[in-house]
Amino acid sequence: MFEGTAIGYPGTTGGEICFNTGMTGYQEIYTDPSYYGQIVVNTTSHIGNYGTVDSEQESDHPQIKGLIVNDYADVHSRNTANSSLQEYLEKYQITGIANIDTRMLVRHIRSKGAMNGIITSVLDESQLQGELKKVPSMEGLELASVVSTTKPYTVGEGNKIKVAVLDLGVKKSILKNLADRGCECKVFPAKTSFKEIKDWGADGYFLSNGPGDPAVMDYAVDTVNEMFAEDKAIFGICLGHQIIARSQDIGTYKMHHGHRGLNHPIKNLISGLSEITSQNHGFAISEIDVENSKKVEATHINLNDDTIEGLSVNGKNAFSVQYHPEASPGPHDSRYLFDQFVENIKK
C-alpha cells in the first residue's frame, strides 16, 4: 500500500495498474480509449506543468479510471492552456494520487506483472481489500463496444477516398491522419453489421485501436472475415491488428506488463530499418502461431522482446501493426504506414 496526496476528484476508483514511460503527452494518454478500465502511472516526474488544451484530446473525455504521479504541478506554464490539470481532472471526475514513489511502483509491476489496484481519498484501510475485489480482471473483458461511438459519423467529408472505420476505440489523431491524406472516414460502432458497412461503399477498411481482451471479440473477427471476402485494402492498428490476427487463426495472450510509452524500438523486416514508436497495449499475438502460419507474415518485430509488431496477410491487400503510427505526441517515424494504406487502396 502506498500513501500520498489526493489529486483530481475526491473519491474511490479501481482498475488495472499500468505505467507509461512517455516524457510528454499526458493529456493524449488520459484520453486514449485504449486505456479504458486502467489506472495510469506516469513515470515522468513532473505531471501537469503545461496544463490541458481542448484540441489535444484523443477522445471527448478522459478514458482512464485513475492517475498515479510523483510530482504534481498545481500551476502550469503554457499560456494557451484551457485549464490546469487539476481543474481538468475535477471536471471529468478522475481520482488520482500524487507524491508516490513511482519508480518503486513501476519496479514492482515489472517484477510481478500487471495487477489491479484502487485509489481512494475517502475509504479507511479496513475497506480496501473489499473494494479491490470488485475490480474485474482485464483478461476476458470486452470493452471495445463500451468506448465505441453509438452512431456513425464522418471525418474528412468530401474527400475522394472512402474509408470505413470500425471503431473499437479510435483516436482522433488516427482519423486526422487519414483525412489529411484525402480520405473521407465514416466511423461505425464496433458491433455494426458488415452489411451496413458495405452498403456505404468504402474503398478500404480500417480497424482501430481500443481496450480490452481481443480473445473475447468474436463479433469483430466475424466482421473482419466478411471484409476479407470483399478483397479490398485493410489496415489495422493495435486492437485492430490483434483482430486481424485472430481472423487468420493467430492466437493472442495477455502480456506480463505490456508496452506503453513513446520510445519503443521496432524493426521493419521488409526495409531492414528501425523505428522508434508510440505504443499502448497489454495483449499481443502469438509468436509461435505466426511462425507456423501459412496465412500471414511478420513484418515488424519489437527489438526489446521480439514480440510481433506487424503483419501482412498472404494473398490479401491487408496489413496491420501493434503500435501507434499516428503517435500523438510523437515520434512520427511510422506515419508512412498511412501512406502505404492509401497506396494500397489506389492499387
- Angle, CA 192 vertex, CA 189 and CA 198 arms, to 5°: 115
Q: Which residues are catalytic?
A: 238, 324, 326
Angle, in degrees to the nearest 10, between helices 239-247 and 218-230: 70
Residues ≥6 apart with Cβ < 8 Å to 4 = 97, 98, 99, 100
DSSP string, 48-112: STT-B-GGG-SSSS---SEEE-SEE-SS---TT-SB-HHHHHHHTT-EEEES--HHHHHHHHHHH
Q: Which three cell numbers stand for residue 23?
A: 516524457
d(CA 19, CA 39) in angstroms, rounded, equals 8
d(CA 342, CA 347) in angstroms, rounded, equals 9
Largest CA distance in the chain: 63
Of the candidates 65, 1, 54, 66, which has an alpha carbon nearest to the alpha carbon of residue 28?
Answer: 54
Cβ count within 10 A of residue 332: 16
